[in-house]
Amino acid sequence: MRIDIISLFPEMFNAVFEQSIIGRARLSGRVDIIVHNLRDYTYDKHRTVDDTPYGGGSGMVLMPGPLYDAVTKVKSLPVGYMKEPQRLTVFMTPQGEPFKQQTAKKLTTIDQLILVCGHYEGFDERARMLLADLEISIGDFVLTGGEIPAMAITDAVVRLLPGVLGDEYSAHEESFTENLLEYPHYTRPRNFKGLEVPEVLLSGNHGEIAKWRKEMAKERTKKRRPELLK
């Protein structure tokens, strides 16, 4: 899989994409992540990407021209040796479809994912209309830019790619995979400040442990996120 990110602040991604599981997935060639600077698609000496809104009001709006050129260029890049890769352009916006684990799962099937980060007041509407195949929001709150949403989406997608997580099963039982929150985890010590590890986890009986975990997952979901069970 190839992920291209278009941003005004490419340096923001370095630390996140070089570390841990994502860093290893890149090194092993399971994913290519390339960050492009939107300013490289400007043609004036100030490398202007934004302008004041028509109709007045505060803030600046990202002009459609640089976005159009950036996305068009990135969409023309090769994806491995594929003849007709499946490409998807996704705009980061608080007005988009809420991002869910199911969305992440679906995105793993795309060959080239292009994530476009907004800033200031957001995108000129025509860029959205002409370029976006999908618009995603990572929650009902407003961030300064689309960089953190793009990092969150990349992380959630890459860890689901085959071979990325050491233990394939760790992703199977995770929260939201089956519309359930995950069961509670315990590790050493057995007693911590008077709180004991549940006896069943020490029993060695894998059938009973699986049953207990399933019950805990259901109970926890019912208590914290009952809407998931519907």
Ligand X SMILES: C[S@@+](CC[C@H](N)C(=O)[O-])C[C@H]1O[C@@H](n2cnc3c(N)ncnc32)[C@H](O)[C@@H]1O
143 binds ligand X (CB under 6 A): yes
Residue at 210: amino acid letter: A
Residue from the set 146, 151, 217, 221 that interacts with ligand X by CB under 6 A? 146
State both tokens at 127. Answer: 């860029």
User: What is the total count of residues that contact ligand X (CB under 6 A)?
Assistant: 20
Q: Are 48 and 60 in contact (CB under 8 A)?
A: no
Nearest CA-CA partner of 133 in 196, 75, 83, 80: 75
Stretch that binds ligand X, among 121-129, 172-180, 203-211, 219-227 (CB under 6 A): 121-129
64 binds ligand X (CB under 6 A): no
Residue at 213: amino acid letter: R
Q: What one-character DSSP code corresponds to residue 41?
A: G
Q: Are 146 and 135 in contact (CB under 8 A)?
A: no
53 binds ligand X (CB under 6 A): no
60 binds ligand X (CB under 6 A): no
Contact map string, positions 89 to 108, toward ligand X, x by CB under 6 A: ---xxxx-------------
Residue from the set 118, 157, 217, 221 that interacts with ligand X by CB under 6 A? 118
Q: Note the maximum CA span of the chain.
A: 70
Q: Name the residues that contact ligand X, by CB under 6 A.
A: 92-95, 117-119, 121-123, 137-139, 141-146, 149
